[in-house]
Amino acid sequence: MLAEFGWVDWLSMMGSFVFVIALLVATLLMLKKMGPRIGSVNNRRLNIIEIQNLGARQKLLLVSVNNDQVLIGLSPQGITSLGRWGPDEQIGDLAAVDPDLDGAVPDSQLNTFKQLLSQTIKR
């Protein structure tokens, strides 16, 4: 036997449906407004410059802290600081690249990164 619904029952169900959808939209708007804003505010001391996903649960973050750049590795096991650069030797700074090398990174910076990477891998 099929149950018969009257107009009052249909209006009640549609009203409940509209109410649930309105709550969903309000929640999404509130999350968007109150959620974290990555790199959108320039006057903060801490800014996330770049994020590189390495896998499902591993990431590399380049973070600016008080004009220093810090490379951070994130994994399920924890957070690891992989390197730190001062304002005069920032990553991606075009002034740090020698114009005679046609955009190549100087050997002194490569040796430093190689040493940093080998120390990090040994841990």
pLDDT one-digit tens code per residue, 14-69? 999 999 999 999 999 988 887 665 445 556 778 888 888 888 888 999 888 887 88
Token couple for 107:
């050997």
Residue 40 in contact with residue 46, Cβ under 8 Å? no
Same domain, 70 and 92: yes
**What is the domain extent for residue 19?**
1-35
> How would you list the strands of the sheet with 78-85, edge to edge?
46-53, 59-65, 68-75, 78-85
Burial of 71 (0-12, 13-18, 19+ CB in 10 A): buried
Same domain, 54 and 88: yes
Same domain, 64 and 99: yes
Same domain, 18 and 63: no
| Whole-structure pTM value | 0.42
DSSP state of 38: T
Structural domain includes residue 16: yes
Tell me the C-alpha distance between 12 and 87, whole Å.
63
How many structural domains are present in the chain? 2
pLDDT one-digit tens code per residue, 2-26? 677 788 888 999 999 999 999 999 9
